Amino acid sequence: MKKRLSILMLVVASFSFTACSLDDDDNTNFKYVNLEVLSADVPETFEFGEKYTINVTYANPNTCTYFEGFDIHKHQLTEREVYPIGTELVGSNSDCQESTEEVEVSFDFEVIYKEDYLFKFWTGKNADGEDEYLEIVVPVN
């Protein structure tokens, strides 16, 4: 038993000496970015209790940006802000080219409320730096 405890203490001690620092900006080679939505394919109506696949087309800004998933914010009971999220490689080793590629991705959505849903898909920022959205209302039957 003492031998197991000693080994466990040694393992814990070795991890504390080799822990990574999250404050080391010099070695960061990517950053998270919001991807601008070009269009969204949402059903005209929802049925309460059903699941749907929602397709989103976004603009890929360059060859160093890769889709990671969605960040979906719930602001009110049935209001959702939808942000496609990507990781963009940065630093001296990245050779990025501008892109005009349009990429279609999707997420699953379950209707759990009987009220109409308002989806706000992030389309970028305007000249004043304010967020802009493609807004789609979907009634629930």
Top-confidence range, 4-8, 17-21, 41-45: 41-45
Supply the mean pLDDT for the chain: 86
Is residue 93 domain-resident?
yes
Q: Which residues are CB-contacts of 100 (< 8 A; sequence separation ≥ 6)? A: 59
Locus of tokens 């706000």: 120
Is residue 49 domain-resident?
yes
- The pTM score is 0.77
Q: Which residues are CB-contacts of 5 (< 8 A; sequence separation ≥ 6)? A: none
Residue 133 has pLDDT above 70, yes or no: yes
CB count within 10 Å of CB 69 equals 11
Is residue 109 domain-resident?
yes
Is residue 2 domain-resident?
no
The total of structural domains in the chain comes to: 1
Q: What is the DSSP code (8-state) at residue 115?
A: S
Is residue 48 domain-resident?
yes
SS3 99: coil
Domain that holds residue 80: 27-138
Is residue 14 domain-resident?
no
Predicted local distance difference test score (pLDDT) of residue 96: 86
Is residue 81 domain-resident?
yes
Is residue 4 domain-resident?
no
SS3 36: coil
SS3 5: helix
Using 50, 70 and 90 to split pLDDT, how confident is the model at 95?
confident
Q: Which residues are CB-contacts of 18 (< 8 A; sequence separation ≥ 6)? A: none
First to last CA, the chain: 63
